[in-house]
Amino acid sequence: MAIDRETFLADLYALLAKLAELDVSQIKPSDLLREDLGLDSLKSMELLSRISEQYDIDVDLEDLIEIDTVDDIVKFLESYI
Protein backbone atom coordinates (compact mmCIF):
# COMPACT_ATOMS: atom_id res chain seq x y z
CA MET A 1 0.00 0.00 0.00
CA ALA A 2 1.54 3.29 -1.04
CA ILE A 3 1.12 6.08 1.47
CA ASP A 4 3.06 9.25 1.91
CA ARG A 5 5.21 9.57 5.01
CA GLU A 6 3.62 12.82 6.21
CA THR A 7 0.13 11.33 6.26
CA PHE A 8 1.39 8.24 8.04
CA LEU A 9 3.24 10.29 10.67
CA ALA A 10 0.24 12.57 11.22
CA ASP A 11 -2.00 9.53 11.76
CA LEU A 12 0.49 7.88 14.08
CA TYR A 13 1.05 10.99 16.19
CA ALA A 14 -2.70 11.68 16.41
CA LEU A 15 -3.32 8.17 17.66
CA LEU A 16 -0.41 8.36 20.11
CA ALA A 17 -1.77 11.65 21.45
CA LYS A 18 -5.22 10.17 21.91
CA LEU A 19 -3.96 7.08 23.72
CA ALA A 20 -1.52 9.06 25.88
CA GLU A 21 -4.09 11.82 26.49
CA LEU A 22 -1.63 14.49 25.31
CA ASP A 23 -1.54 17.15 22.65
CA VAL A 24 0.22 16.08 19.46
CA SER A 25 2.73 18.92 19.92
CA GLN A 26 3.90 17.30 23.18
CA ILE A 27 5.06 14.10 21.48
CA LYS A 28 8.67 13.81 20.34
CA PRO A 29 10.36 11.03 18.34
CA SER A 30 12.65 10.27 21.29
CA ASP A 31 9.77 9.82 23.76
CA LEU A 32 9.71 6.46 25.50
CA LEU A 33 6.31 4.84 25.14
CA ARG A 34 5.96 3.70 28.73
CA GLU A 35 8.03 6.20 30.69
CA ASP A 36 7.33 9.44 28.77
CA LEU A 37 3.91 8.79 27.27
CA GLY A 38 2.51 6.46 29.91
CA LEU A 39 1.43 3.77 27.45
CA ASP A 40 1.10 0.41 29.13
CA SER A 41 1.39 -2.79 27.12
CA LEU A 42 -2.35 -2.82 26.40
CA LYS A 43 -2.34 0.70 24.96
CA SER A 44 0.81 -0.07 22.97
CA MET A 45 -0.90 -3.10 21.46
CA GLU A 46 -4.00 -1.01 20.72
CA LEU A 47 -1.83 1.55 18.94
CA LEU A 48 -0.19 -1.02 16.69
CA SER A 49 -3.48 -2.82 16.12
CA ARG A 50 -5.20 0.37 14.94
CA ILE A 51 -2.30 1.33 12.68
CA SER A 52 -2.11 -2.16 11.20
CA GLU A 53 -5.87 -2.15 10.52
CA GLN A 54 -5.81 1.34 9.03
CA TYR A 55 -2.96 0.56 6.65
CA ASP A 56 -3.79 -3.13 6.15
CA ILE A 57 -0.46 -4.49 7.34
CA ASP A 58 0.25 -7.68 9.25
CA VAL A 59 2.56 -6.97 12.18
CA ASP A 60 4.67 -9.78 13.63
CA LEU A 61 4.17 -9.44 17.38
CA GLU A 62 7.60 -10.88 18.18
CA ASP A 63 9.19 -7.88 16.48
CA LEU A 64 7.41 -5.52 18.86
CA ILE A 65 9.66 -6.43 21.77
CA GLU A 66 12.35 -4.11 20.40
CA ILE A 67 10.08 -1.05 20.30
CA ASP A 68 10.68 1.48 23.08
CA THR A 69 10.33 4.94 21.53
CA VAL A 70 8.06 6.79 19.12
CA ASP A 71 10.86 6.74 16.56
CA ASP A 72 11.14 2.94 16.97
CA ILE A 73 7.46 2.65 16.00
CA VAL A 74 7.97 4.87 12.97
CA LYS A 75 10.97 2.89 11.75
CA PHE A 76 9.25 -0.42 12.40
CA LEU A 77 6.03 0.47 10.61
CA GLU A 78 7.77 2.20 7.71
CA SER A 79 9.23 -1.16 6.78
CA TYR A 80 5.65 -2.35 6.19
CA ILE A 81 4.26 0.61 4.24
Domain holding 43, by residue range, is 5-78
Residue by residue, DSSP assigns 58-69 as: ---GGGGGG--B
The model's pTM: 0.85
**Model pLDDT for residues 2-41, shown as the tens digit of each residue:** 678 898 899 999 999 999 999 999 999 999 999 999 999 8
Q: At what angle do helices 41-54 and 70-78 cross, to 10 degrees?
A: 30
Q: How many domains does the chain have?
A: 1
- CATH code of 18's domain: 1.10.1200.10
